[in-house]
Amino acid sequence: MIANLLILFEAPALGLQLLIDGILIGAVFALAAYGMALVWGVTNIVNVCQGEFVMLGGLVTVLCAEQGVPPLLAVPLAAAALYALGWILFQTVIVHLLGRDMFNSVLATFGIAIVMQQLMARGFGGADRIAESGLGSWFFFDGLVGIAKIKLVVFAACITLGVALALFLARSRQGQAIRATAQSPRAAEVLGIETRKVYGLTYALNAAICGVAGGLASMAYTVHPYSGLSYTIRSFMIVVVAGLGNLAGVVWAALGLGVAESFAGFILGPQYQIAFVFALLVAVLVTRNWRLKAKRRYLK
Amino acid sequence: MGRASSLTPSRLLLLGALLACGVVAPLLFPAYQSQLTELLIFIVFALAWDLVGGQMGYNSFGNVLFVGLGMYVSAIVQVGLFYDVGLYTEAKGGGTEFVFDADQFLAGLAFGLPAAALISALAAWLLGSLVLSMRGHYFAICTLGLGIAAGQVAAGIPWIGAGSGMLTPNPPADLGDVGLLLYYLALGLAVTCMLTFAWLLSTRFGLALNAIRDDEDKAEAMGLNTHAAKVTAWVIAAAFLGMAGAIYGNVVRFIDPVETAFAGATIGAWMILMALLGGKGTLLGPIVGAIVFQLTKELFLTFLLGWQRVALGVLIVAVAVFFPSGIVGFVNDRLRTRERAGEQGP
Amino acid sequence: MLGAAVSLTGKYALNGANTKNGYELAVQKINGRGGVTIGGRPHKLVVRYYDDESTPARGTELAERLVKQDGVKFMLGPYSSGLTKAILPVVEKYKVPMVEGNGAARELFTKGYRYVFAVLSTSDQYLTPAIELAAEHADKLGKPKDKLRIALAMENDPFAQDVRAGVLDDVQRHGMMIVIDDQLPPELNDMSVTLTKVKALKPDVLVISGHEKGALTAIGQIKALQVYVPVVAMTHCDSAQIAEKMGKAAEHVFCAHQWHRSLAYKDDVFGTAEDFAKAFEAAFAYEAPYQAAQSAAAVHVFADAIKRAQSLDAEKVRDAIAATELDTFYGPVKFDMSGRNIAKPVVLTQVQGGKYVVVYPQKWASGTPLVPRPLP
């Protein structure tokens, strides 16, 4: 561990590389977490099949790429496909879960996740897949720091989508309908908003966001029908740490998570990377809670 | 809730009959012995989860922490009483140098299982003060984080085998059917668990737990020492989880830190699933849920090979959509409406 | 009847499919030639499959089920050392001989079990050839062999950890230095942290073992981060199809293979290695990875042993297996006391021109290795 710290001191440019890598992987999680936060905040449903949506988006992208479609163009295709899937799932399953307690949706979406995993494996085969983006990398500091351009695309997509969604929610009528429904479904109904449609839109939108995340992830990393769980868990963590309802916070928390993992992996070694980060998360929550306790309140 | 957990004479008779079935089952169906053992262990997992989750409202996503802890502690004790654990794991359980005779094996279990329960309980007590002051989602996340971190940490400790995992001691050939022994241990544990919980829930403690679930602030305001109650419940659940985990470790023999011991995605998720399937917050719920889950899982595996997970997933979705309060909850509601209709007169 | 719990779902779904296809092809071929003749009567081979879902606990459970409920007396191995390790106690307890082709960790053979036999070479031999090769070509790397610096990126599972142990032993023998020794958690998708370290410390040799995901991720990220290491060696290249999928980025990477179609092995059931490869491609429409070949070989060993034992009695078959001395399309098979196949080598190939060319050991090589890797 000390040796690793020394390396960082000797070559600070590597620290920059770790920071950049962390932000970039955080961006992918940010997308997935953003979608989960949206669905959770508006419909009070915890979407446990989030990771599977991401993987499916990735696999669709890879499939298109293998058929000759440039991968970057394939991403919007994946998003559209996932949007459709999200809409279908909403109409068949999710619509029944509205208004029930959180655990009900956890159970149902877990069931969906299992179904999706096996269907994806049957449909796409059980191999790890990667799509070639065809973009190269930029290098700085005499080659010591490299940024794969595709990862920058991911980051840019994350920011753009984040901003676009924020604007959408704030300005457009649909967006306002979503926010109104989130605040008070009954009042929204009274005011003539078709809450069911809003819920459906939100859920399908989340699926599309995951599709984008997955498509981008398939170019920067690998995708596999059974690898969705890590995305689901991290999204869940990020959303809770950011605080429900705090969409902007989700992006920061996600990026922070990515950077923490990156540095932890370097200094402590990859085998403790995940443990460290999760322990950190726990520590953050415990401290926050403890400080609130002093005021005789608690984290809500 | 009071109905499901009171021990009326007819109830006792039913329980007695079930117990008798439980005792003879492995003798009648020796081929299914390990599956029955697993079922009993899962029943304990589901019940323990429900105590803190369903009855008390603190949904833990990381109970697998105690399962894995119990598994490892028992394995360590079982080996460590007679050999150096570090050497044992380095030799990766070498069968020729590390032999356990019947007495050693039994002694190992006799000390290992209680140790598992004790250490798990201790861990719960220590962690409890930190983690149980969080509510709802935050508690869930913290436990999830602990569960995952534990798996990673275990995979990084060479003393217990690190990523290569650890094997529980080889049952000596002259001890007869160890599987049967493990079955009866599991049966004993499951029965103890059921009776203990039934009793607990019929006391004021049970009411306290439910009060915490329904409205913790009010309960606190009424003078209930919520912290003490919460920690006690968690410690009890952890003890059962730990011992069940220890027995499970001996059933599967090979303890892989991430895949078996701290298997959040499988055991961790399943115990929640089983409780929800059967009905959160009831005593019978987790039991029914565990039985239904295991049964359908096995049936699907035999008859729908290749599609078994799809079938299982569809089943879970169907139950979630159509039976939101679980199977037992559904049955209870039906009984209640019928009762009410009957009360309304001729 | 033989039993097999393979991974049809889960993270090893692909490998489980390779394994199953290997078994199936062998069964087809052997039954096509009349099956196994015992006492004059031909017996056809039949395999009962279950899905272990890539989880050890499930594997154990299914092995028990195969033995106790389905009554199988002969077991075929699952994919991966971890899953094989989980099944060992069961087959040993019920005295069911098992021939496996996909569990390579040494620890499977150090326990004195009598009922497990492996046709594949143990995992410690996977990447030691790469170290040997580097030692032999140390002059091309510009230094004496004991000044070579080695970096390891290994997944934290029983197989890769055993590969690592083999590499460490060899490195110590030559007096080389380990500069990076990272153990990657199995669910990790990203190796950038390790590769950043590689960039900082500039090792001469980088060895990677993380199943197919590790191979793909490593090559993809080495290219993206433009990490240059003169010698790169990894496992699971062919099943990850790095030459086909990663194009130029995979050039001159060294790969550990248990078997390769260009090797001059042959037998009377499958023909030559090349014949097997062609038959597999015809049946399953993709190139046979060595995982499939070793699975087929396992079935072949069973058939041969049962024929020699002239009986379906488990003990007699077990003894017949132990006495096996068979030449197969997969390589020679001869088991030592612990059940390892001591007759077959692991070969090292190098990706040259988009194809895997066997370059080591000399005896089986069909091409020359290119060291160091040319700068991109």
- For the stretch C242-257, pLDDT in tens is 888 888 888 889 998 8
- Residues of chain C in contact with residue B35, where contact means CB-CB under 8 angstroms, are 61, 65
Report the pLDDT averaged over residues A147-168: 79
Is the pLDDT confidence value at B2 over 60? no
- Residues of chain B in contact with residue C66, where contact means CB-CB under 8 angstroms, are none
Share of chain C above pLDDT 90, in %: 4
Identify the pLDDT of residue B149.
85
Q: What is the mean pLDDT of chain C?
A: 86
- Residues of chain A in contact with residue B313, where contact means CB-CB under 8 angstroms, are 111-116, 118
Helices (H) and strands (E) in chain C, counts: 12, 18
Identify the pLDDT of residue A133.
65
Report the pLDDT averaged over residues C233-250: 84
Q: Residue B53: which residues within 8 A CB-CB, separation 6 or more?
A: B59, B60, B272, B275, B280
Select the residue from A128, A141, A216 to test the C interface by mutation, using most C Cβ atoms within 10 A.
Answer: A128
Is the pLDDT confidence value at B3 over 50? no
Q: How far apart are CA C145 and CA C155, in angstroms?
A: 26
Identify the pLDDT of residue B47.
92
Q: How far apart are CA A138 and CA C273, in angstroms?
A: 44
**Beta strands C2-6 and C74-76, pairing class:** parallel
Nearest to C328 by CA among C305, C294, C280: C294
Q: How far apart are CA C87 and CA C82, in angstroms?
A: 9
Identify the pLDDT of residue B61.
85
pLDDT in tens, C133-147: 888 888 888 888 888
Domain positions in chain A: 2-299
Cα separations in angstroms, A196 against A47, A170, A199: 17, 20, 5
Single-letter code of the amino acid located at C293:
A
* DSSP 8-state secondary structure symbol assigned to residue B7: -
Strand (E) or helix (H) holding A291: helix A270-294
Q: Which of B2-11, B44-53, B165-174 has the lowest mean pLDDT?
A: B2-11
The pair of three-digit structure tokens given for residue A89, joined into one six-digit string: 């799932």
Output C374 or A51, whichever has higher pLDDT: A51
pLDDT in tens, A254-291: 988 889 888 888 888 787 888 888 888 888 888 887 77
> Kindly report the CA angle at C202 between C199 and C204, in degrees rounded to 5?
130
Is the pLDDT confidence value at B5 over 50? no
DSSP secondary structure string for all residues of C56-102: HHHHHHHHHHHHHTS--SEEE--SSHHHHHHHHHHHHHHT--EEESS
Q: Specify the pTM.
A: 0.83
Nearest to B295 by CA among B32, B20, B31: B32
- Which residues of chain A are at the C interface, by a Cβ-Cβ cutoff of 8 Å? 4, 7, 10-11, 14, 17-18, 21, 25, 117-118, 121, 125-128, 130, 132, 137, 139, 143-144, 146, 148, 150-151, 217, 220-222, 224-227, 229-230, 262, 265-266, 269-271, 273-274
Is the pLDDT confidence value at B7 over 60? no
Domain positions in chain B: 32-263
CB A215 within 8 Å of CB A59: no
Per the DSSP assignment, residues forming a β-bridge with B166 are: B255
Q: How far apart are CA C79 and CA C4, in angstroms?
A: 10
Identify the pLDDT of residue B121.
93
Report the pLDDT averaged over residues A62-77: 84
Output A269 or B60, whichever has higher pLDDT: B60
Identify the pLDDT of residue C213.
84
Highest mean pLDDT (candidates A149-153, B234-238, C115-119, C313-317): B234-238
Of the options 3.30.70, 1.10.10, 1.10.3470, 3.40.50, the CATH number for the domain spanning A2-299: 1.10.3470
Q: How far apart are CA A230 and CA B70, in angstroms?
A: 25
**Beta strands C36-38 and C41-43, pairing class:** antiparallel
Omega into C361 within 30° of 0, i.e. cis?
yes
Q: How far apart are CA C22 and CA B165, in angstroms?
A: 29
ipTM, 2 dp: 0.81
Identify the pLDDT of residue B70.
92
Highest mean pLDDT (candidates C81-85, C112-116, C151-155): C151-155
The CA distance from C273 to the nearest CA of chain B, in Å, is: 30
Tell me which residues of chain B, numbers 73 to 102, contact chain A at a CB-CB cutoff of 8 Å: none
- Residues of chain A in contact with residue B133, where contact means CB-CB under 8 angstroms, are 289-290, 293, 298
Is the pLDDT confidence value at A300 over 60? no
Q: How confident is the model at residue B45 (pLDDT cuts 50, 70, 90)?
A: very high
* DSSP 8-state secondary structure symbol assigned to residue B266: I
